[in-house]
């Protein structure tokens, strides 16, 4: 193990330690200062509408698949040659890592996994350009979604303007990248933008995947809010969309536990939703999104696992059977709530 790997392992351990301490601190604060609120939220969560929760799970899953599509198109512009299914697997592993670690280590895992499918020459710079194109596409999609929120007065107009500026920067880079530069590193960095600028269909697919991911996430957030009885669920979803994205940037606890729920409660409280109900919505959103991330990540890990094809087939069949049984049980309990 060389010095770089040792330093990376040390940073990982440091983040995990900080995350563990932060989780314990949040738990202690909740027990000391919000015992009644947490108990009330847990009681409301137990009575959530299961049909809405199933729709939320489907929405989060659709958002995950669409997000994998964004990475698929963005990294294809960087020279990646692999299928959408492979992109789903690699994206899913990142979701699984994010579900259990602090500091968005899953994003680093995604970059590392996707970079393996990019041509070796200038791989790091090309991957960076692909990630930049992905960020620009997601900013455009987020701006489109938040235009409705700004119309309701739920989001400041400057937020939409900032996101549109990021998207415009990506467009300018795609146009400017048509002219080659002398620096080989800068050339590889701009190569994904050149590929997108020279292929409007690929650019349209990239933005379409980003719009689909944002739309599916809005549906999932609205369904979760409706499941716990939050009024004006669609408007609430538009409010939570940028708030949860902000929470994902400042992750200090494993799986963002406590942070996303608290951010949800604070965002909803600023719009007249009571703290217990807002905390219930935050807990439900975190639970649903984490469940989808873990399942999606386990399937992706299985798909990428270096095991012989017969063993992988048996594992896939076993996992499919287990997931099917769980889905059947969830549907049965939804249609017959008197069974519990």
The answer to pTM > 0.85 is no
Could you give the percent of the chain with pLDDT greater than 70? 67
Q: Is residue 325 part of a domain?
A: no
pLDDT reported for residue 181: 63
- Is the C-alpha dihedral spanning 304, 305, 307, 312 positive or negative? negative
Segment among 10-24, 33-47, 61-75, 284-298 with least mean pLDDT: 10-24
pLDDT reported for residue 27: 44
Count of Cβ atoms closer than 10 Å to residue 251 Cβ: 23
Q: Using an 8 Å Cβ cutoff, are 29 and 253 in contact? A: no
Q: Is residue 314 part of a domain?
A: no
Tell me which residue range forms the domain holding 97: 3-28+38-297
Residue 275 has pLDDT above 50, yes or no: yes
* pLDDT confidence bin for 75, thresholds 50/70/90: very high
Average pLDDT across the chain, whole number? 75
Query: pLDDT per residue over 135-145, tens digit each?
Result: 999 999 988 88
Q: Using an 8 Å Cβ cutoff, are 103 and 21 in contact? A: no
Query: pLDDT per residue over 103-136, tens digit each?
Result: 677 888 899 899 988 887 778 888 888 899 999 9
Kindly state the average pLDDT of the residues 291-306.
Answer: 84
Choose among 305, 256, 288, 330: nearest CA to 104.
256
Q: Is residue 309 part of a domain?
A: no
| Most trustworthy range by pLDDT among 9-18, 162-171, 278-287, 319-328 | 162-171
Domain total for the chain? 1
48 half-sphere exposure, CB direction, 13 A CA radius: 28
Q: Is residue 287 part of a domain?
A: yes
Q: Using an 8 Å Cβ cutoff, are 164 and 157 in contact? A: no
Residue 18 has pLDDT above 50, yes or no: no
- Is the C-alpha dihedral spanning 82, 85, 87, 93 positive or negative? negative
Q: Is residue 320 part of a domain?
A: no
Query: pLDDT per residue over 218-259, tens digit each?
Result: 999 999 988 888 888 888 888 888 877 776 666 555 555 556
Q: Is residue 125 part of a domain?
A: yes
* pLDDT confidence bin for 36, thresholds 50/70/90: very low
Kindly state the average pLDDT of the residues 200-220.
Answer: 93
pLDDT reported for residue 24: 42
CA 113 and chain centroid, separation = 16
Residue 11 has pLDDT above 80, yes or no: no
Segment among 36-40, 64-68, 156-160, 316-320 with least mean pLDDT: 36-40
Instruction: Say which DSSP state 70 is in.
Output: H
Q: Is residue 304 part of a domain?
A: no
Q: Is residue 340 part of a domain?
A: no
């Amino acid at each position: 193990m060389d010095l770089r790997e040792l330093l990376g392992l040390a940073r990982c351990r440091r983040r995990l330690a900080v995350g563990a301490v932060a989780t314990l601190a949040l738990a202690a604060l909740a027990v000391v200062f919000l015992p009644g609120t947490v108990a009330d939220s847990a009681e409301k969560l137990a009575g959530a509408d299961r049909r809405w929760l199933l729709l939320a799970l489907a929405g989060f899953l659709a958002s995950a698949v669409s997000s994998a599509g964004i990475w698929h198109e963005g990294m294809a512009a960087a020279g990646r040659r692999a299928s959408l299914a492979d992109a789903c697997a690699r994206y899913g592993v990142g979701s699984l890592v994010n579900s259990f670690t602090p500091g968005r280590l899953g994003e680093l895992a995604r970059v590392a996994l996707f970079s393996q499918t990019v041509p070796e020459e200038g791989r790091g710079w090309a991957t960076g350009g692909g990630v930049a194109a992905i960020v620009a596409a997601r900013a455009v999609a987020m701006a489109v979604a938040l235009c409705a929120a700004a119309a309701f007065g739920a989001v400041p107009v400057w937020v939409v303007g900032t996101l549109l500026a990021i998207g415009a920067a990506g467009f300018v880079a795609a146009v400017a990248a048509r002219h080659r530069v002398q620096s080989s590193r800068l050339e590889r960095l701009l190569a994904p933008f050149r590929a997108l600028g020279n292929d409007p269909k690929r650019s349209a697919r990239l933005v379409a995947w980003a719009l689909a991911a944002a739309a599916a996430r809005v549906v999932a957030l609205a369904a979760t809010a409706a499941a716990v009885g939050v009024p004006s669920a669609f408007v609430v979803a538009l409010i939570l969309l940028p708030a949860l994205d902000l929470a994902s940037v400042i992750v200090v606890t494993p799986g963002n536990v406590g942070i996303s729920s608290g951010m949800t409660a604070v965002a909803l409280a600023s719009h007249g939703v009571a703290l217990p109900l807002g905390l219930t919505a935050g807990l439900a959103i975190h639970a649903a999104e984490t469940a989808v991330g873990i399942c999606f990540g386990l399937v992706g890990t299985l798909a990428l696992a270096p095991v012989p094809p017969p063993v992988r087939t048996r594992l896939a069949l076993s996992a499919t059977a287990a997931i099917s049984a769980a889905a059947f049980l969830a549907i049965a309990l939804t249609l017959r709530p008197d069974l519990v």
